[in-house]
Structure 1
C-alpha cells in the first residue's frame, strides 16, 4: 500500500468495495447499506484516512501553503509572543497560518489536529497540551507531514523539537538569589508532572545543593502557570513554618502573581522578598518593580521554530532535529539586586 498519504483508492482496496462506494460513505449518502458503511468506516479509522475538504483547490497548486500552529495557553503572553515570532517567518515565506489554542486539553488538541489535516496543512508547529503522547501525532508523521514541538517534548514522537535550557536557566537564577544573601528560596507556580517543570525544579534543587543549602519539598509549590497561580503559591509559601525570603517562579505570569500576593500580604517585592521569573515577556521590563527573569526570547523561539519547519517542508522529507536554545538571566529590580535587605535565616 502507498506509504504516503492514505487515499480513497487505498480505503476501497482494503475494504473490498469500489472507490465510488467509499466516496458515498464519506459524503454520508443514504445509498450505502449500514453493513458496508460500518466496514468502510472501520478501515478509514484503521488506516487513519482524513477527508480533505480543500483537496480540490489544493490540487491546483504544487503544495499546500497552510501551516498549523497550536499552543497550549494563548492567555499567557509568552505564547502570544511565540506566535508573533512564527508569523514573522511564515508570512514572509508566503504561508497562511491557522492558529488555535488547546487550553491544555488533549481532546481539544486532537480535534484541532484532525481539522487542520482535513484542510491540508503543509506542516504543524505544536506546543503540546499536558498529557500529549506520541500516538496523538502518529497519523501526521506517518503521512509525512513535518511537525515541530516547541516548549514541551512529546516522548517517543518522531518530530523535531525546540526547547529552552530550562535546567541551566533555573540554576543561574537561584545562584543569583544566593549571591544576594538568600538562604531559603522557594520554587513557585507551574503544573507538576511536566518536563519543563521537572527541569526547572532540578536546576533550583541543584543550585541550592551546590551552596550547601536545603531544598525541602515543602518549598516547591506547584499551581497553574498563571498570575492567579502565582498568588495562590505565595499565599501558601508565606504560611510555611520557615518562610522563604525569595522565590524562583515557574514563569513570568506566576511571578507577576507572586508580586501581587506579596503586596496583599504587606510585603514589597524586591525589598522584602526576592522574585525571579522565567521567560522575559514584554511586560517584564515595564512591571513595577521591573521583573528579574530568565530570558527565553519567545519571539526568537517562534522564529526558529518556523525556520525549522520550513527547512523540512522545503527538503521534502522529515528528518527530526532536537534543538536546545540558550537562555540568560536578566537582572532588574524584583530580586532586590543592589539593595541591602534583611534576610530571614533558614
Structure 2
C-alpha cells in the first residue's frame, strides 16, 4: 500500500486538511504553497511533510480563481422557508451589494451536518466574510472553529455568548410585552406554542412569557407549553391539543408568526375566530401578518435593519476591526385584531 495517508478517492484533500494535519493556519499553508519567504524553515518543512503524507495536489489555477473572488461573502441561513429569514437575507444582501460584495447564500434547513458541509465548501472558496444563522443544535465550539478558518463571522438571530459577534432582537422583552398585553385584556390562562427548549430564541421568548405570567401571579400549566418545529403544522396541532383540555387556555403567544398562522387555521377548522373566541399573538411581524384573517397581533422585529446591521458588522471586521460586538435590537408590539385588543402599536 502507498505510504501516503491518502484519503479515499471520494474525498478531496483541501488546504484545511493540510493545516489541521500540520497544526498551522490555512493562511500559513497558502504562504508555503506560494513559496513565501515569510514562513520559517521548520514550519515550511512541517507543511510540506503534511502535503506529502496526505497527497495534496495544489491547483494553482483554482487558487488564482479563488483569489479573484475575494469579494464573495457567505450567508448561511437556517430556514429560508420561513419568510422572516427571507426578509433578513434581503437586508443583508442590500448592504453587501452596495459595498461591491457578492453574497453566496445557502439554506441549512436546521441541519447541523448540512451546515458543516456548507461551511466547508465556503471556506474552500476563500470567502471574505460570513453571516450565519446557526442551525438548531449548533454548539459554541462549532462557531469557535470558524475563527480558525480566517474569515470574519457574525451570528444572526441566535447568539452563542461572549466572544462571538451577533445581531439579535430582544426576544425576552418582546415576549414579555406580548404576554402582558394579553393579561391586560383579562386573560389568565395563556399558552406558549412552538420551538424547542434547546433553541436559544425559544428559551428567551418562552422565558419572557413565563416572567410575565409569574409577575402577574398567574398559574402555569405545563400542558400549555407546546414544543414543536416553528411551522404552521405545529400551530395547528397545538391549538387542537389545548382546546380539548379541561382548563383550556383562552389565549396564546406563539414562538413566531408562522406558528401563529397555523393556529389561525386550526381555529378556523373549529369554527372559532381569533380575537373573539381565542386571543392570539405572534412574533416577528413578517409581511403576511397584516394580511391574515383576522390580521395578526405580533411582536415587531425590524428584520431588514437587523440584516443590514449584520452586514455592516462583517464589513467592519473585513476592514480590520475584529472586536466582537453583541447587538440586541429593540422590538415593538403591534396590536391587531387577532388578540382582540385596541388596534395600534405599543401597549
Q: Name the SS for the 1:73 alignment partner.
A: coil
Say if 1:15 and 1:125 are closer, same or farther in 2 by CA, change over 3 A. Answer: closer
Selected match of 1:5 from 27, 38, 48? 27
What does 1:131-150 correspond to in 2, within 5 Å?
131-150=137-156
Superposed structure 1 runs of 4+ greater than 6 Å apart: none
Distance in 1, matches of 2:335 and 2:247, equals 26
The residue that corresponds to 2:87 in the other structure is: 81
CA contact (8 A) 1:73 1:79 kept: yes
What is the Cα deviation at residue 300 of structure 1? Answer: 1.5
- 1:166 equivalent to 2:171? Answer yes
Say if 1:241 and 1:18 are closer, same or farther in 2 by CA, change over 3 A. Answer: closer
Distance in 2, matches of 1:59 and 1:189, equals 44
Unaligned stretches of 5+ residues in structure 1: 29-50, 340-346
Say if 1:264 and 1:18 are closer, same or farther in 2 by CA, change over 3 A. Answer: closer
What is the Cα deviation at residue 134 of structure 1? Answer: 2.7
CA contact (8 A) 2:235 2:266 kept: yes
Count, aligned residues? 311
> What's the CA shift string for 1:265-294, capped at 9, x where partnerless?
221111100010000000011111111000
The residue that corresponds to 1:14 in the other structure is: 46
CA contact (8 A) 2:335 2:342 kept: no
The residue that corresponds to 1:335 in the other structure is: 339
The residue that corresponds to 1:194 in the other structure is: 199
What is the Cα deviation at residue 52 of structure 1? Answer: 9.4
Distance in 2, matches of 1:117 and 1:3, equals 13
Distance in 1, matches of 2:234 and 2:60, equals 41
CA contact (8 A) 1:128 1:154 kept: no
Distance in 2, matches of 1:302 and 1:181, equals 36
Distance in 1, matches of 2:50 and 2:179, equals 66
Distance in 2, matches of 1:212 and 1:192, equals 23
Say if 1:3 and 1:293 are closer, same or farther in 2 by CA, change over 3 A. Answer: same
Q: Name the SS for the 1:69 alignment partner.
A: strand
Say if 1:174 and 1:298 are closer, same or farther in 2 by CA, change over 3 A. Answer: same
Selected match of 2:55 from 9, 25, 31? 25
What does 1:217-296 correspond to in 2, within 5 Å?
217-296=222-301
Distance in 2, matches of 1:91 and 1:25, equals 39
- 1:67 equivalent to 2:73? Answer yes
Distance in 2, matches of 1:70 and 1:304, equals 16
The residue that corresponds to 1:56 in the other structure is: 64
What is the Cα deviation at residue 325 of structure 1? Answer: 0.7
TM-score, normalised relative to structure 2: 0.84
Q: Name the SS for the 1:334 alignment partner.
A: helix
> What's the CA shift string for 1:139-189, capped at 9, x where partnerless?
431243111101112347x42011111110001001101111111110011
What is the Cα deviation at residue 238 of structure 1? Answer: 1.1
- 1:128 equivalent to 2:134? Answer yes
The residue that corresponds to 2:7 in the other structure is: none
Distance in 1, matches of 2:198 and 2:277, equals 31
